[in-house]
Amino acid sequence: MLKAERVAYILERLQDLYPDPPVPLDHNDPYTLLVAVLLSAQCTDERVNQVTPALFATADNPFDMAQLSADAIREIIRPCGLSPQKSKAIKRLSEILVEAYDGEVPADMAALEELPGVGHKTASVVMAQAFGVPAFPVDTHIHRLAQRWGLSSGKNVTQTEKDLKRLFPEECWNDLHLQIIFYGREFCTARGCDGTTCEICRTCYPDRKRPKKTRKA
C-alpha cells in the first residue's frame, strides 16, 4: 500500500470509528480547557477529569484563580502529579491573563506559548479545541502510531507534527488528532499492538512479519 493509499484509508477508517470525536478533557470555556490541558501533562485525562471539578468549584476563571495561593491550588491538584510546578504555573498564567488580556485566553498560538507551563502541544490543543483553529497536537499516542503506520519517521513530536500536517488536509486536523488518540488508546496501544496486531496496522502493512520498533518522543 502506497503512502497516499494509507493516508486515504486511515482517514476513512478513523472517520467511521469516531465520526464526532469528543474533547476528552471536561471544560466549560477556553480558560478551563487551558488549565485542564496543563494538568494532563504526564497524567491521564481520567485523573484530570476527577480533579478539575473541585478545582473549578473553587476557581473557574483567572480572576478567582489568581487570588488563590499556589499552595492552595497544589492541594487540590496533587493527584495529577507534578503539582508544585503545575500549581505555580496555573497561578502565574492566571495573573498574566488578568493583567495582560482582561481575563481572556488569547486565541493566538505565540501568546499562549508564552504563558507559564504552556508548551506547543498545550497551545495547539487550546487553539484546536477551544477556538477551532486548525492545529495538530502530537502526543505519545500519535507519535507512536504515525511511525507504525509509516506516516513519519520523526525522532520527536515536532517532526512528526510537520509530517502529519503535510500528509493530511488542514480541515481534518482538529478531529483527526483526537481520532488517532482514541484509536491508539483502544486498539493500537503501546503494549497491545506492536505494529502487526490492530486492524489499521494489519491493513497498512499486511506483509509485516516483525514488530515495528518506534522511537520514543
Q: Looking at the annotation, which residues are catalytic?
A: 121, 139
Of 102, 36, 30, nearest to 66 by C-alpha is 102
Distance CA 47, CA 86 (A): 15
Q: Crossing angle for the helix pair 173-186 and 3-17, nearest 10 degrees? A: 80
Residue 216 burial by Cβ neighbours in a 10 Å radius (0-12, 13-18, 19+)? exposed
Of 133, 139, 126, nearest to 182 by C-alpha is 139
